[in-house]
């Protein structure tokens, strides 16, 4: 998602307007008269940590600040300055900071960034910090490790089911959400036939932020139990699974059911088009439920499993992403930074944060409060339990470069400039030296 440079006007931009306001904003939590000061140590020994993340803009207003206030109440000598921005802006900030070794003390991490940041020496070995703090890591649902060392802890996990606009499906004469690829294509055609600016599906393929390859393309493969890698971790892009997936995506494009502008569309644009009724279906994170309903409280939508290949009867892989957390290697306050990590992974705080975010806890003992959360969260949790989490990009070296090289070849195939076979062969060649 891009940030403040985009000019957002009109009702159809209201969703992202909320997020754009937060671009690179800094909120000092519990800092009193020191609010807005640079991170460091004050005369009385109080430490101020900078915490860069994209989480706050995707949560109910003020809720993340409230959590930070709870942290400060527990640790009066540690203050937190939040650097909150949409995902893409945070990513750009952190990529730049990692290269220059100037990351904030605590950083929100996407699993796709971890390998590169660790190789750059930009993020600290959390295994060492856990040992120093005598932290019991057995309570963690997962850890992202490289060569046996933990560099990221998933705080909240999000699944990416299929969102469907119930009103558009009904108007199009589609009686139930699609469960197979054939049913999906049929539903997308019928929705697109409604006319106006309505299309069946949105596909964000902007190569600047190529996570559409992960979330919106490979998700079809994983939903049918497929893999983009061989058993020994080598790329298998020319295999039948990926080929079938890309041919399916191409069939959607050939049928004219994909929202226009997909070559430069970003995730934020996809969410906006769905929330304003311009597309009937999209694959998206549960984290955006709150934003969608804030934009249009009357929008009637559901979440369902991503359709699988016709005839597939096995468990369906469901894409997931995490709000991960790490500590900057360059931080002068690693011990204090890890106290913030500990706080967010505590059973109480982790339960609260996962409930607010419509995600699943990173602490194995934490439980979301379904009684207060949106009913769609419980539905997604049932989908999650019936399948298995699938995201083969997590932890791969140069994962965003892998997505981007695949994206570039896919775009050429979708626009008729090369065949699907040629696109996959070229992508395979680009991946081989990396994997």
* Mean pLDDT for the stretch of residues 107-134: 95
Indicate the pairing of strand 78-84 with strand 47-53.
parallel
pLDDT of residue 221: 98
Extract the tokens encoding 223.
Answer: 């939903």
pLDDT of residue 28: 52
Residues 6+ apart with CB under 8 A from 41: 47, 48, 332, 333
In CATH terms, the superfamily for domain 11-157+321-380 is: Periplasmic binding protein-like II (3.40.190.10)
- The whole-angstrom separation of Cα 375 and Cα 360 is 14
pLDDT of residue 357: 87
Do domains 11-157+321-380 and 162-318+397-431 share one topology? The answer is yes
Q: Give the model's confidence band at 100: pLDDT under 50 very low, under 70 low, under 90 confident, else very high.
A: very high
- Would the pLDDT of 206 be above 60? yes
Name the least confident of 6-10, 49-53, 103-107: 6-10
pLDDT of residue 374: 81
pLDDT of residue 11: 35
Question: Is pLDDT larger for residue 97 or for residue 320?
Answer: 97
Supply the pTM of this predicted model: 0.71
pLDDT digit string, tens, across residues 34-45: 333 345 777 788
Question: Is pLDDT larger for residue 369 or for residue 338?
Answer: 338
* Mean pLDDT for the stretch of residues 118-131: 97
Give the chain's radius of gyration (CA, Å).
21
162-318+397-431 CATH: 3.40.190.10
pLDDT digit string, tens, across residues 236-267: 999 999 999 999 999 999 999 999 999 999 99
pLDDT digit string, tens, across residues 146-188: 888 999 999 998 889 999 999 999 999 999 999 999 999 999 9
pLDDT digit string, tens, across residues 351-360: 999 988 878 8
The answer to whether 216 touches 407, Cβ cutoff 8 Å, is no
Domain range list for the chain: 11-157+321-380, 162-318+397-431
pLDDT of residue 372: 75
pLDDT digit string, tens, across residues 21-34: 333 444 455 544 33
pLDDT of residue 329: 98
The answer to whether 406 touches 237, Cβ cutoff 8 Å, is yes
- The whole-angstrom separation of Cα 423 and Cα 146 is 31
- Would the pLDDT of 406 be above 60? yes
């Amino acid at each position: 998602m891009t940030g403040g440079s985009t000019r957002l006007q009109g009702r159809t931009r209201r969703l992202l307007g909320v997020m754009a306001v937060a671009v690179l904003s800094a909120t000092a939590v519990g800092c009193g008269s020191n609010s807005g000061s640079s991170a460091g140590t004050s005369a009385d020994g109080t430490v101020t940590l900078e915490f860069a993340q994209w989480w706050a803009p995707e949560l109910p207003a003020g809720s993340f600040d409230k959590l930070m206030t709870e942290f400060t109440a527990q640790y009066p000598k540690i203050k937190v300055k939040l650097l909150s921005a949409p995902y893409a802006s945070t990513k750009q900030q952190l990529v730049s900071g990692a290269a220059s070794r100037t990351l904030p003390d605590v950083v929100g991490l996407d699993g796709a960034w971890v390998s590169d940041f660790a190789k750059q020496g930009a993020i600290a070995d959390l295994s060492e910090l856990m040992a120093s703090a005598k932290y019991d890591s057995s309570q963690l649902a997962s850890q992202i490790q490289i060569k046996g060392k933990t560099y990221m802890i998933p705080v909240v996990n999000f699944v990416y089911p299929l969102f469907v606009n119930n009103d558009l499906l009904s108007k199009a004469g589609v009686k139930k959400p699609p469960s197979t690829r054939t049913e999906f294509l049929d539903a997308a055609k019928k929705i697109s036939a409604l006319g106006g600016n309505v299309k069946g599906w949105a596909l964000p393929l902007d190569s600047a932020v190529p996570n559409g390859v992960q979330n919106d393309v490979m998700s079809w493969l994983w939903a049918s139990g497929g893999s983009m890698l061989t058993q020994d971790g080598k790329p298998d892009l020319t295999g039948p699974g990926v080929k079938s997936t890309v041919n399916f995506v191409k069939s959607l494009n050939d049928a004219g059911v994909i929202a226009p502008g997909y070559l430069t569309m970003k995730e934020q644009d996809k969410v906006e088009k769905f929330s304003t009724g311009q597309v009937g279906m999209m694959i998206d994170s549960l984290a955006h439920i709150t934003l969608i309903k804030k934009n249009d409280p009357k929008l009637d939508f559901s979440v369902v499993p991503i359709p699988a290949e016709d005839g597939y009867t096995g468990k369906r892989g469901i894409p997931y992403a995490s709000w991960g957390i790490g500590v900057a290697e360059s931080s002068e306050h690693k011990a204090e930074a890890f106290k913030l990590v500990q706080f967010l992974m505590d059973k109480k705080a982790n339960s609260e944060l996962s409930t607010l975010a419509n995600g699943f806890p990173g602490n194995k003992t934490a439980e979301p409060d379904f009684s207060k959360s949106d009913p769609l969260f419980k539905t997604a949790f049932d989908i999650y339990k019936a399948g298995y989490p699938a995201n083969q990009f997590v932890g791969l070296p140069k994962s965003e470069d892998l997505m981007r090289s695949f994206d570039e070849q896919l775009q050429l195939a979708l626009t008729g400039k090369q065949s699907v076979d040629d696109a996959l062969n070229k992508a395979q060649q680009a991946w081989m030296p990396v994997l």
